[in-house]
A and B are shown apart, each in its own frame.
Chain A
Amino acid sequence: MPEALNLADDRRPERRAQARALLDRLERESPFPGAPRVGITGAPGSGKSTLLDALVRRLRAKGETVAIVAVDPSSRTTGGALLGDRIRVRSAASDPGVFVRSMAARERLGGISDAARAGVAILAPVFDHVFVETVGVGQSESEVTSIVDTLVFVASPGAGDVLQFIKAGLIELPDVFAVNKADLGEVAAQTAHELAGALDLGAREPGAWRPPVLLVSARDGTGVDALLEAIRAHGAQQIASSRLRARRRAGLEDAVLAQLSLRYGSHGLAQLGGAEGVRTRLRRSDGTTSIALVEAIGAEIESALRRTR
């Protein structure tokens, strides 16, 4: 598995071809729905790593295996990154039932989705649960939401990050809200109240999932079981309502679009009517893997580009 992840990360042309073949096979052969894929996001200091540690402990106590993809930002000037600092899963390295891989976001190469998506695809067939942990800085929430089935936003009470989050218009992305540090009492309840209030403002189609706002404490264990249950319930509801298939498909389309745009730029995409045109084109071609889609649509763009020359 570590080798497969190394391969998926490798930029040398001959290894890229091997990696594409591997990912292509995984997309085709992995059973649906497979392991639940859960994103954990929140501002620095919100305690999401400690909370994730608590979740992992519960799952391990039940004998279930867990893989974690932890994404940290890269420096834009040096390309360097500090990874793993947030991971407080103490038992991880000596427990074969827990696998942790940290990744740098490498902003200059188009965000977290590529590396993290490959990581999820490789780990999901092997572990019972896959978590993707990212630092919430606006952009990453919308990216991570396209590679997970359930997105959990971890809020810390009274830190102001909740207000910023609401202001940034990101409130419709998470499926579950966990207000951490419930042991702080009143201030945590107040933050939960603000979040619930903001959620009520948004219009929602009938029968749609209502994101719960849970009070949790990684410190004393409050609400950890309830959070696991909310994640499970969201996954089950998505499967029952056939939304999961659509969500995974939408995530796949996002990835294809990102790769095409990286390869051909906006001028290339414009040949098929811009991002919207490509999306429409994608919606018509179901059943193929992302790599096949990138190749097929890429070929169309290239031939269009040749014609205009």
Chain B
Amino acid sequence: MSPSDPARRDRPWVFRTYSGHSSARASNELYRQNLSKGQTGLSVAFDLPTQTGVDSDHPLARGEVGKVGVPICHVDDMQALFSGIPLDRMNTSMTINATAAWLLALYVAVAERTGADPHALEGTTQNDIIKEYLSRGTYIFPPGPSMRLISDMIAYSVDVMPRWNPINICSYHLQEAGATPEQEIAYAMANALAVLDTVRARSDVPEDAIPRVVGRISFFVNAGIRFVEETCKVRAMTGLWDELTRDRYGVGDAKLRRFRYGVQVNSLGLTEAQPENNLIRIVLEALGVTLSKDARCRALQLPAWNEALGLPRPWDQQWSLRIQQILAYETDLLEYEDLFVGSRVVEARTRELADAAREELARVLAMGGAVAAVENAYMKRQLVASHTERIRAIESGEQKVIGVNAFTESEPSPLLAGSQSVLVVDESAERAQIESLRAFRSRRNAADVTAALRGLDEALASGANVMPPSIRAAHAGVTTGEWSDVLRKRFGEYRAPTGIAVRGETRGPEAVSVRERVHRISDQLGRPLKLLVGKPGLDGHSNGAEQIAVAARDVGMEVVYEGIRLTPAQIAHSARDEGVHVVGLSILSGSHGVLVLDVLEQLRASGCADVPVVVGGIIPEDDARKLRSAGVRRVYTPKDFDLTRIMGEIVDVVAEARAVAA
């Protein structure tokens, strides 16, 4: 028999595009367009206020509404988001974590409103809090209560929504935070075991339902450019998951032990320089998770080629969707059995990765598991150390990035002509959303809302499952902020360790010369150069800020870094009380316009008008120009990969501001 059989083509994975912006209505329009072009599932991006449990009119939401995703404040927003899309025939993935129980409750409420049977609902809530502590930063509550929420959702959905994946264990963000393949596998597995152990310990579900729970655990994996190794990685994960679920939870049915995963290929590796090259990267990365039939992804979302420049336009997203369609429908990939069975090379690398991951997993389990290894910062420190090493390799040219540190010469790109090469969110979207939220609040029944919130609080206190009262609250017209506030009062808020206390690195001759300049300017200033690294706003992607902090320490600066989600006023007060010479801000959510200006204003109000400010983030050149004219001394974007050079410029900035030589 021929190994290829066109008649027995495998079914393709689900095609998605991670999207959402401005408002429920605008996002709905985009979803319907995408579906009409052959996309087979949806992947909802929520804005940061929704992800961190504040309403669009909350002071912390300023500048963030509709920026990185869609704002969803209440059941009407959710219904508008899916208008004209029958929920019982859709496969919806929601990137939502701290407030996942609430957004799922809204989704169920919309299904009930529109007559769709919850049993038929198919999709995924990301709902992985551990990687939020380690990398993504949109957590709210401490680990204990957060794990309880996850457990509640699993217990609820295993019977009521049997086709829903209540949690998507994310290795994706671990890779972004610096994980090596071994760490990515080990920590994702540790995370999954922590979830399953919690479910089992809380006896939310009867013991005999545990295999079904195991069968509903899915994963969300990153696919990087080393696509051969990535193929081995997903094969290793497939084997390891099969082994762990059999041995630890006694799952007999092989189908329930199947490693099911969705993928977003690596966005962090996409470059701002020569951005057209990103399309090629995306194609190769897609191969890493589709080539091996035995370990093929269930759903795939591809970023757009111009993501490092700003928000992609519909055409950019279409281009990425076409990659998937060509791969699945045009090539012969889906006609073959697994390509790697019997490959000595692939098998050996797979075994190597699995063995190393097993060892690291054992280390984490010996510490008390993933939650303990978050609280004692072990995993975070390992990730920051790996990330520091990766950045060092790129800086030194050891790891080549075409167009960035190798082959940087380029013809002008016709794709970048004109300022309209990215999507600009209409500034009026925030105002419109706030107005519609206020109108919604005034038309709901206040007594229903109060009763629903009381019911929710009682469930929290008694330990009853949080889903049924949340669904009732959704119907009653409770808002995202109100739901989250009830939980905040009961659970408290959490701040995860930053993990930056890693041992110093020597960074080569350039770093040594910058360090000498730091020491020289410190003598002139009378005390060591002191830098405040701040992350204003709701964006929790702290990896960049952490790398800046570590690099600054390594060239001899004293660095104050207080973690994520600070208000501009808090940053300004810290700058004053700590007596810093310069402030560095990091913002990846695209809200730099409002937030940076607020920080400058607050610095002036705190008597620190003379403290210079530099900013890093995904900042289009037009915006960068505006920031510079508002007083920002330097603006850095993803193309500025050379941290040592940035450190040298920070010395320049302080020297200019203090009129001293360095």
Contact = CB atoms under 8 A, between A and B. Distances in A.
Do these two chains interact?
Answer: yes
Contacts of A1: 577
Contacts of B570: 92-94
A115 to B, nearest CB: 9
Shortest 4 CB-CB distances between A and B: which pairs? A10-B526, A93-B570, A80-B553, A93-B573
A83 interface: yes
B553 A75 contact: yes
Interface size class of A (residues with CB under 8 A): 35 or more
Contacts of B569: 93-94
A199 interface: no
A145 interface: no
Contact of B377 (A45, A80, A88): A45
A90 B567 contact: no
A80 B556 contact: yes
Contacts, number: 108
21 contacts: A2-B576, A2-B578, A15-B526, A44-B501, A45-B377, A75-B504, A78-B553, A78-B554, A79-B556, A80-B554, A84-B562, A84-B574, A85-B500, A85-B501, A87-B562, A88-B495, A93-B577, A99-B577, A100-B577, A102-B560, A106-B528
A90 B495 contact: yes
Given A78-B553, A80-B555, A219 B142 contact: yes
A6 interface: yes
Contact of B376 (A5, A45, A90, A92): A45
A104 interface: yes
B573 A90 contact: no
A83 B495 contact: no
A284 interface: no
Contact of B552 (A15, A77, A80, A101): A80
Contacts of B559: 80-83
B557 A2 contact: no
Interface of A: 1-3, 5-6, 9-12, 15, 44-45, 74-75, 77-85, 87-88, 90, 92-94, 99-102, 104, 106, 219
Interface residues of B, number: 44
A81 B501 CA distance: 9
Contact of A77 (B495, B501, B504, B576): B504
A14 B110 CA distance: 71
Nearest to A12: B526
A88 B519 CA distance: 30
Contact of B558 (A10, A80, A100): A80
Interface of B: 142, 144, 376-377, 493, 495, 497-498, 500-501, 504, 506, 515, 518-519, 523, 526-528, 549-550, 552-563, 566-567, 569-571, 573-574, 576-579
B525 to A, nearest CB: 8
B442 to A, nearest CB: 30
B500 A82 contact: yes
A85 B498 CA distance: 7
Contacts of A90: 493, 495
Given A78-B554, A93-B562, A94-B573, 10 more contacts: A2-B576, A9-B579, A75-B556, A82-B549, A82-B550, A84-B560, A84-B574, A85-B561, A93-B577, A99-B577
B49 to A, nearest CB: 19
Nearest to A45: B376
A52 to B, nearest CB: 13
Contacts of A84: 560-562, 574, 578
Nearest to A67: B577
Nearest to B511: A78
A111 B550 CA distance: 22
B581 to A, nearest CB: 10
Nearest to A219: B142
Given A5-B579, A11-B527, A45-B376, A81 B558 contact: yes
Contacts of B579: 2-3, 5-6, 9, 101
A85 B376 CA distance: 13
Contacts of A104: 528, 558
Contacts of B560: 83-84, 102
Given A83-B559, A84-B561, A94-B569, A9 B526 contact: yes
B133 to A, nearest CB: 13
Nearest to A7: B526
A126 to B, nearest CB: 12
Contacts of A106: 528
Contacts of B577: 1-2, 93, 99-101
Given A2-B579, A85-B500, A79 B528 contact: yes
A230 B504 CA distance: 39
A11 B521 CA distance: 12
A127 to B, nearest CB: 12
B570 to A, nearest CB: 4
